[in-house]
């Protein structure tokens, strides 16, 4: 019975492979970014395509291939691989250590119902425990409705008479495993199963279509150019657009937002009378509400006249889509600024609907006001706010606005899926880029204990609990980082997934791709160098722009 089923599945697989070569091949690199190049990558991408896994961080496209499969995860892998619908919580829990409200409880119960597990003899399931390769053989053989082989084991390290001997042998007969080593032929029954290995076990056992995954293209040979799209602007420092909107909205530091459309420039909003501008002060941030097209709301960050305090305010577009009534302002937050510099500026919405806002350490130099490590103050942090109220977003790690502490002056950050990329301007030595999951609230980026990867103003320091940058450069090559974006446009396919950033003082533009662990495929782009590189920006379709404080905006295009 079983062999005919397998044959039918293989025929289906071949048919699918045939159609794939004719049409939509697997995208370079596949979906997960942290399994690229892993020997198990085709199987990992295959189990995702088949709906067996969504990864360890679905929004961030992470699978965590280096992790060990827990018995809880195993239950979900098996139930989904069997093509079963997500089980609903059933009767009483079989195991004393499986909390009925845990995500995996229904999966574990389903395994019991299907006769795939009976747990341990003490009545536990040990959901957090690793799955050994011996246990994996049992899970898979039972899930396939197979029984143990009556043949002697072929593996030198599988003891004759061991409870798993026939199960492992059957696994080999079905060509689901070829062991962990060939000379001598071993199975390594006691070893924990890695999440990457698990993918191959599952894909082979359940005949999932496994396709080669082409490597992501390198950008080392790619050519880019910049074309001027607007000039004569007054100290432009940012550019953005609502999703799908063909207009460009350029923020001018003195307090205006200009629309650039069809080669013409007009004023969208003018709050220059409210804004204290100059140096690092001014209108320094803009974020459109994710539902801007329907609700007309957007948010700004500016230094107010008089005391220079930071103001985060909401505005509403008027009946004229190209004009805002300055009287529509609703102030969400006022933050006292003890010095004129390090005001932060960036505003952006996360996929969680929260409003993220950058605040510097209060200014001066060397964190004079001791705000970097003070989680009781919004200064020196990336804050997370409820845009409806301006209050701290629910679930913030310190019960206030602070989401990521330990930053010095995060002038520009961006959000890509579930990740934030922060360009944090350094003191006298190092400029840094931090990359962090939006789920990792409370991540402390170290300032002023650290500046980049080095101790600040000390020969040694305690870095326990601090998170270092994924990239940095010293002041011999740049003096003030301008954080950018991960390119997600369509005009430059080979650039997709790469993060572009630059240096305000030196004017160069660099890029890298973050692979979930570190940076890869890094380079600089001489053709994009721009003086007074104040900001990058994205239009409503994900194409990228460079904003020069001198008054010009450039679009990045294929070279
Ligand atoms: Ca991949
Ligand atoms: Ca840092």
Per-10-residue mean pLDDT of the chain, 559 residues long, equals 37 35 63 89 95 85 90 94 83 83 92 92 94 96 96 96 96 95 94 94 95 92 98 98 97 98 96 97 98 97 98 98 96 97 97 96 96 98 98 97 98 93 97 93 98 97 97 97 96 94 98 91 98 98 98 98
Q: Is 411 exposed, middle or buried (0-12, 13-18, 19+ CB in 10 A)?
A: buried
* Omega within 30 of 0 (cis) for the link into 237: no
Q: Which of 153, 147, 160 is nearest to 116 (CA)?
A: 147
pLDDT of residue 517: 82
Residues by chain with Cβ below 5 Å of ion ligand 1? 29-30, 32, 35-36
CA dist., res. 87 & res. 229, Å (int)? 54
Predicted TM-score (pTM) of this structure: 0.81
Give residue 194 CA to ligand 1 midpoint distance, Å: 16
pLDDT of residue 12: 37
Ligand nearest to the Cα of 405, by number: 2
pLDDT of residue 25: 57
Give residue 74 CA to ligand 1 midpoint distance, Å: 21
Give residue 433 CA to ligand 2 midpoint distance, Å: 8
pLDDT of residue 90: 64
- Please name each of the domains of the chain with its CATH number: 2-205 (no CATH), 224-558 (2.120.10.30)
Ligand nearest to the Cα of 42, by number: 1
Give residue 549 CA to ligand 2 midpoint distance, Å: 26
Q: Quick one: CA dihedral 190, 33, 415, 476, positive or negative?
A: positive
Give residue 425 CA to ligand 2 midpoint distance, Å: 9
Give residue 24 CA to ligand 1 midpoint distance, Å: 16
Ligand nearest to the Cα of 407, by number: 2
Ligand nearest to the Cα of 55, by number: 1
SS3 assignment, position 160: coil
CA dist., res. 219 & res. 528, Å (int)? 14
Give residue 383 CA to ligand 2 midpoint distance, Å: 16
Give residue 536 CA to ligand 2 midpoint distance, Å: 21
Give residue 162 CA to ligand 2 midpoint distance, Å: 53
Give residue 21 CA to ligand 1 midpoint distance, Å: 19
Ligand nearest to the Cα of 453, by number: 2
Give residue 515 CA to ligand 1 midpoint distance, Å: 9
CA dist., res. 396 & res. 324, Å (int)? 32
pLDDT of residue 92: 63
Three state DSSP letters for 107-136: HHHHHHHCCCCCCCCCCCCCCCCECEHHHH
Beta carbons of 212 and 508 less than 8 angstroms apart: no
Ligand nearest to the Cα of 424, by number: 2
Sheet holding 533-538, edge to edge: 224-230, 552-558, 544-548, 533-538, 236-240, 248-252, 256-261, 264-270
Ligand nearest to the Cα of 43, by number: 1
Ligand nearest to the Cα of 38, by number: 1
DSSP 275: B
CA dist., res. 333 & res. 344, Å (int)? 14
Give residue 510 CA to ligand 2 midpoint distance, Å: 19
Give residue 484 CA to ligand 1 midpoint distance, Å: 24
Q: Which of 344, 371, 364, 346 is nearest to 356 (CA)?
A: 346
Ligand nearest to the Cα of 497, by number: 1
pLDDT of residue 16: 36
CA dist., res. 174 & res. 373, Å (int)? 57
Residue with tokens 């950008």: 219
Give residue 209 CA to ligand 1 midpoint distance, Å: 16
Give residue 45 CA to ligand 1 midpoint distance, Å: 6
Give residue 468 CA to ligand 2 midpoint distance, Å: 6
Ligand nearest to the Cα of 36, by number: 1
Give residue 94 CA to ligand 1 midpoint distance, Å: 37
């Amino acid at each position: 019975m079983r062999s005919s089923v397998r044959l039918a599945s293989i025929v289906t697989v071949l048919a699918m492979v045939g159609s794939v070569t004719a049409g939509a091949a697997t995208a370079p690199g596949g979906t997960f970014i942290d399994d690229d190049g892993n020997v198990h990558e085709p199987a990992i991408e295959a189990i995702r395509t088949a709906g067996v896994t969504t990864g360890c961080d679905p929004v961030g496209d992470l699978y965590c291939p280096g992790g060990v499969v827990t018995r809880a995860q195993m239950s979900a892998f098996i139930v989904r691989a069997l093509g079963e619908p997500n089980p609903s919580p059933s009767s009483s829990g079989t195991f004393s250590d499986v909390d009925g409200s845990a995500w995996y409880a229904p999966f574990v119960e389903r395994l019991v119902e299907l006769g795939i597990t009976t747990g341990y003899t003490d009545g536990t399931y040990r959901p957090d425990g690793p799955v050994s390769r011996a246990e994996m053989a049992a899970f898979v053989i039972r899930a396939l409705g197979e029984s143990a082989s009556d043949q002697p084991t072929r593996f030198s390290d599988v003891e004759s008479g061991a409870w798993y001997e026939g199960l492992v042998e059957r696994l080999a007969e079905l060509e689901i495993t070829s062991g962990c080593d060939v000379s001598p032929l071993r199975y390594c029954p006691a070893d924990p199963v890695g999440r990457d290995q698990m993918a191959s076990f599952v894909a082979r056992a359940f005949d999932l279509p496994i396709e080669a995954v082409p490597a992501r293209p390198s950008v080392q040979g790619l050519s880019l150019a910049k074309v001027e799209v607007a000039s004569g602007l007054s100290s432009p420092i940012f550019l953005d657009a609502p999703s799908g909107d063909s207009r460009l909205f350029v923020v001018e530091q003195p307090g205006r937002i200009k629309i650039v459309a069809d080669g013409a420039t007009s004023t969208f909003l003018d709050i220059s009378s409210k804004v204290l501008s100059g140096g690092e002060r001014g209108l320094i941030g803009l974020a459109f509400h994710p539902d801007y097209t329907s609700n007309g709301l957007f948010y700004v960050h500016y230094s107010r006249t008089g005391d220079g305090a930071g103001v985060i305010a909401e505005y509403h577009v008027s009946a004229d889509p190209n004009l805002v009534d300055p009287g529509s302002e609703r102030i969400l937050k006022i933050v006292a600024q003890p010095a004129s510099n390090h005001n932060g500026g960036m505003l952006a919405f996360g996929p969680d609907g929260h409003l993220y806002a950058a605040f510097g350490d209060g200014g001066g130099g060397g964190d004079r006001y001791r705000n970097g490590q003070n989680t009781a103050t919004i200064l020196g942090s990336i804050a997370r706010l409820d845009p409806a109220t301006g209050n701290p977003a629910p679930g913030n790690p310190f019960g206030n606005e602070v989401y990521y502490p330990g930053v010095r002056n995060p002038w520009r950050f961006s959000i890509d899926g579930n990740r934030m990329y922060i360009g944090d301007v350094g003191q006298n030595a190092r400029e840094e880029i931090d990359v962090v999951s939006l789920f990792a609230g409370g991540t402390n980026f170290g300032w002023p204990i650290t500046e980049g990867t080095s101790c600040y103003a000390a020969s040694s320091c305690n870095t326990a609990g601090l998170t270092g940058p994924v990239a940095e450069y010293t002041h011999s090559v740049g003096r003030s980082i301008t954080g950018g974006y991960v390119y997600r446009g369509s005009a430059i396919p080979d650039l997709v997934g790469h993060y572009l950033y630059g240096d305000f003082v030196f004017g160069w533009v660099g890029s890298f791709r973050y692979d979930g662990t570190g940076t890869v495929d890094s380079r600089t782009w001489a053709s994009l160098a721009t003086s007074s590189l104040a900001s990058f920006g994205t239009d409503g379709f994900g194409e990228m722009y460079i904003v020069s404080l001198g008054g010009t905006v450039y679009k990045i295009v294929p070279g």
